[in-house]
Structure 1
Amino acid sequence: MMHFKTPVLDFCIVFSFVAVGFAESMCNYPWIKFSGHCYMFGVDKKTWFESKVACNTKNAYLATVETPKENDWIIQQLFALSKESYFWIGGNTLRKVGDWIWESTNEKIGYTFFHPTEPNDPTKERCLFYFLHDKKAYYWGDGACRGKLGYICEKIK
């Protein structure tokens, strides 16, 4: 009897250790981990406001893209994961025309990746999105917040 219990106990301890380590290092599907954050790419089309609510109900927020490294990673994911061309992120000028802030923090947007022709309509297009230009490269653009696009949620892991 004693000989049988020891291997079973050892197996349980090892399995428990591996399961905990795996859960701590990964984001749960459909979330993808990058640099201590988890990202989800929603392809069901929503307005910017609906996208914000969809992220909030998942204890997340519309993505804030704060560095070139994060921007490059998101663009790689967009090319790899989706055939969609437009995705909302968390920037907006809803409080003041031309004053771009992140919705999750109300902080002014520092790093930007606007297409050279964007932003192009500051009084009517007040929400920030990624768009695929000439099927070659993603950029940021300003869009009418009521347009229905995909969206990117982010949360801290």
Structure 2
Amino acid sequence: MLSISVHLALYLTIAALHAPTQALGQCSAPWVPFKSSCYVFATGYPEDWTEAGAFCSRLGAKLAEIETVEENNFLRLHAFDMHAESHFWVGGTDVLVDGQWIWISTQEKMQFTDWLPGEPNGGLREGCLMLVSGSNNYHWNDANCHSQQSFICEKEVEIGGNPSIIG
């Protein structure tokens, strides 16, 4: 088993090979910008939901929390364009109270959702949120948290540059 630092280094090396070499907006490669957030699509090293969240945390990020239809569409389109056959963990869960879906970093109730028809349907067996690929077009599904999947991390846009000095 690879150590966490070797695992992270391998992921970032491979991700950098598949991303533009220049900074994207205020997000450095391989992060992808959208509005005030940067996202990275972690593929090739599937993790369970808890480990995916820990991996994001080591990057100074969290599992993506989808709060608007625009953000959802951006993530769905980007996932489809880059990784059409991967499922992706994001930061929603109902493990604290079955049937009450929240974003794990804030424990706020989800205001926006994009569930597949008939979802969520897993009861106590499926308490973690994933975007489902294939013919499901990355709509939402509750899934077993122990399933090994790709995942999406989100962090705030990096504020860079030197402040201007006036006067």
TM-score > 0.5, shorter chain as reference = yes
- State the TM-score, normalizing by the size of structure 2: 0.77
Conserved in 2, the CA contact under 8 Å of 1:84 and 1:150? no
Change beyond 3 A, Cα 1:86–1:23: closer
Match of 1:65 in 2: 66
Q: Which structure is larger by alpha-carbon Rg, 1 or 2? A: 1
Runs of 4+ in 1 over 4 A off after TM superposition: none
Give SS of 1:123's match. Answer: helix
Match of 1:124 in 2: 125
The worse-fitting range, judged by mean Cα deviation, of 79-88 and 142-151 is 79-88
Match of 2:33 in 1: 33
| CA shift digits 1:56-78 (9 cap, x unpaired) | 00000000000000000001100
Give SS of 1:49's match. Answer: helix
CA distance in 1, matches of 2:130, 2:72: 12
Deviation at 1:88, TM superposition (A): 0.1
CA distance in 2, matches of 1:47, 1:125: 12
1:138 is the counterpart of 2:144: no
Conserved in 2, the CA contact under 8 Å of 1:93 and 1:127? yes
1:42 is the counterpart of 2:27: no
Conserved in 1, the CA contact under 8 Å of 2:23 and 2:29? no
Match of 2:116 in 1: 115
Deviation at 1:83, TM superposition (A): 3.5
Change beyond 3 A, Cα 1:114–1:24: closer
Match of 2:13 in 1: none
Give 1:115's aligned amino acid: L
CA distance in 2, matches of 1:99, 1:24: 36
Give SS of 2:56's match. Answer: helix
CA RMSD of aligned residues (A): 1.6
Conserved in 1, the CA contact under 8 Å of 2:24 and 2:32? no
CA distance in 1, matches of 2:134, 2:116: 9
Work out the number of aligned pairs and report it.
135
CA distance in 2, matches of 1:25, 1:67: 21
Percent identical residues = 36
Q: Which runs of 5+ in 2 are unaligned?
A: 1-21, 158-167
CA distance in 1, matches of 2:154, 2:120: 23
Give 1:27's aligned amino acid: C
Match of 1:12 in 2: none
